Amino acid sequence: MTWHPHLWHPTTQVASSDPPLQVRAAHGCELELADGRRLIDAISSWWVTLHGHAEPSIAAAVARQAKQLEQVIFANFSHAPAEELATRLSALSGLQRLFFSDNGSTAVEVALKIAWQWWHNQECQGVSPRRQLIAFNGAYHGDTFGAMALGERSLFTAAYEPLLFGVARVDWPHTHWGDPDAEAREQQALQQLERALATPTAAVILEPLIQGASGMRVVRPAFLRAVAERVQAAGALLIADEVFTGFGRTGALFASQKAGIQPDLMALSKGLTGGFLPMGVTLASERLYQGFISEQPSATFFHGHSFTANPLGCAAALASLDLLQHNPERFQTFEQRHTPRLEALSQHPKVLRPRCLGTMAAFELDAGESSYLNPVGKRIQRHCLEQGVYLRPLGNVVYLLPPLGMGEGQLEQCYAALERAIDAVLPG
Ligand SMILES: Cc1ncc(COP(=O)(O)O)c(C=O)c1O
């Protein structure tokens, strides 16, 4: 294992990290390394591999599409794969308009720009201005500047602080099994939200049900409904960042549906193409779309990416949606597969605050500071790798997020590896 002389890996401090593992193939839930070892991909390769690696029906759809139409400029042209995807996602999300971009961060940027400019366009029609944005403490919305500004200020954003615009913040009352104080924290957060909404607000953004990157922080559906009611009553727009939670991850097709909220804008990526190709989409209500139609050129949404609506990405997304819709039980019942295993693991004295939602199971390790930099995560990762399981803890937060196609034996192997790793790293 060595560092390549010409590559720069994401989110990696070379001075303190192990060099990357060389992977040569991946099928189903397994990564095959160049040295012949096999690893179970227990976190769906940064949450994108929805069904499994090299899923045959998606691979075939991409190959078919590649021979027919690989790419075309999407200003002036349209094509069937984009139209079919827009029609299907619109019906599934309750949001009538779909705008394409390239990844999760851009899907969020687009949502933010649509929300902001919609109010700007309204202002040009005499509506009073709304300049405040509200986000939640602990939020992560991506690594581009707008997405960073919306996210919690952290180690990831510190260097750019002077360049990030201000956002009002509200607590995220995350909970776990056996939490006695969830209600009180929710009430406190709702009061903070009400106070923030007293200032004219353009939009409120949230990760419905689970804040992923800040540590798999789960809130109860009733809290989100109470948030949505207040946002709507204040006349602000609600943006659901479902980049992580979309496509079955929380046990329903979209976390917003599971929570019973209807956002005005929704950002999707990651599982969108089944993890095959980089693509993001932003869904918006018809009301927002209509707010950009005008004889005034300045009302136009001047945003576009070179690879907008890439036909290969669309073909992958359609094939992935087919799989999801033909086998809904695979995401609907995943939580039942996690639950008894997480219950057993949570008997361990070093395992704290277990929580589980859909395909995600998480807990914290009683190992000092609650932080992304807590080295315990890397030690757990090494021990699991030795046992053939790939995990990537967020500091002391350890989680599993398997592809939907993970077999019972493989899931069992993940939990067994975890238990042994915890015993080795944090003995009694
Ligand atoms: C909720 C959420 N939003 C946005 C992003 C950014 O997505 P991407 O890494 O594709 O830019 C992520 C990535 O983890 C995410 O979890």
- Which atom number of ligand 1 is nearest to the Cα of residue 207? 1
pLDDT at 1: 75
Determine how β-strand 397-400 pairs with β-strand 360-365: antiparallel
- Which atom number of ligand 1 is nearest to the Cα of residue 212? 16
Under 8 Å CB-to-CB from 2, ≥6 apart: which residues?
A: 19
Residue nearest to atom 13 of ligand 1 (CA): 142
Residue 56 reports pLDDT greater than 80: yes
Cα(244) to centroid(ligand 1), Å: 7
- Find out whether the beta carbon of 264 lies less than 6 Å from any atom of ligand 1: no
Mutation test residue for ligand 1: of 50, 103, 109, 141, the one with most atoms within 8 Å of CB: 141
Residue 243 reports pLDDT greater than 80: yes
Residue nearest to atom 9 of ligand 1 (CA): 104
Average pLDDT over residues 128-140: 98
- Find out whether the beta carbon of 276 lies less than 6 Å from any atom of ligand 1: no
Residue nearest to atom 3 of ligand 1 (CA): 141
Residue nearest to atom 8 of ligand 1 (CA): 104
Domains of the chain: 14-55+329-425 (3.90.1150.10), 59-326 (3.40.640.10)
Reported as a single tens digit per residue, the pLDDT across 176-218 is: 999 999 999 999 999 999 999 999 999 999 999 999 999 999 9
Residue 78 reports pLDDT greater than 80: yes
Average pLDDT over residues 329-356: 98
Sign of CA dihedral 252, 255, 259, 262: negative
- Which atom number of ligand 1 is nearest to the Cα of residue 103? 10
Reported as a single tens digit per residue, the pLDDT across 371-400 is: 899 999 999 999 999 999 999 999 999 999
Under 8 Å CB-to-CB from 374, ≥6 apart: which residues?
A: 367, 368, 395, 396
- Find out whether the beta carbon of 212 lies less than 6 Å from any atom of ligand 1: yes
Mutation test residue for ligand 1: of 50, 105, 282, the one with most atoms within 8 Å of CB: 105
Sign of CA dihedral 310, 316, 317, 319: positive
What's at 114, amino acid-wise?
Answer: I
In this prediction, what percent of the chain has a pLDDT beyond 70? 100
| pTM of the predicted structure, to 2 decimals | 0.98
Reported as a single tens digit per residue, the pLDDT across 273-323 is: 999 999 999 999 999 999 999 999 999 999 999 999 999 999 999 999 999
Cα(269) to centroid(ligand 1), Å: 8
Distance CA(107)–CA(74), nearest Å, equals 17
Average pLDDT over residues 26-53: 98
Q: How big is the chain by its Cα radius of gyration, in Å?
A: 22
- Find out whether the beta carbon of 104 lies less than 6 Å from any atom of ligand 1: yes
